[in-house]
Amino acid sequence: MSLEFGTDVETACRFAYTHDREDTDVQLPAFLTELVSGIQAKKEELDKQITQHLKSGWTIERLTLVERNLLRLGIFEITSFDTPQLVAVNEAIELAKDFSDQKSARFINGLLSQFVTEEQ
């Protein structure tokens, strides 16, 4: 279930948060719904930022759904959330390793690193 396919934020968050739980009648963490609704609200802007940092000849549609969503998440956390920038990049890299592959993780790292402005 994905927002990419027209699902609303509440339904997508509930599905993701409870898919491996027996008790699905739980309160969703505010952090989760804030992230997802924020990303959804800024999706067009985030996609433009991603596109601007892709190599010549690449389009956002060429990226996998996992890569697109991890880049959106990372950029949103870096630019619009209180998450420390390097933590946001590392979270996206680790998620890429879990849900994609090492090549994707390196790609995510390279692109998101261009958005980091704080000192290490």
Confidence at residue 1, expressed as pLDDT on a 0 to 100 scale: 44
The Cα-based distances of 46 to 26, 69, 92, 95 in angstroms read: 30, 10, 15, 18
CATH number at residue 95: 1.10.940.10
Length of the chain: 120
Examine the domain organization and report whether 90 and 113 are in the same domain.
yes
Between residues 114 and 16, the one the model is more confident about: 114
Is pTM beyond 0.75? Reply is yes
Domain that holds residue 3: 1-41
- Residue pair 110/92 in contact (Cβ under 8 Å)? The answer is no
71 and 35 in a single domain? The answer is no
Indicate whether 7 pLDDT > 90: no
DSSP 9-59: HHHHHHHHHHTT-S----PPPHHHHHHHHHHHHTHHHHHHHHHHTSPTT--
Structure tokens at 42: 């800024």
Q: Report pLDDT digits (tens) over 28-72.
A: 999 999 999 999 999 999 999 999 999 999 999 999 999 999 999
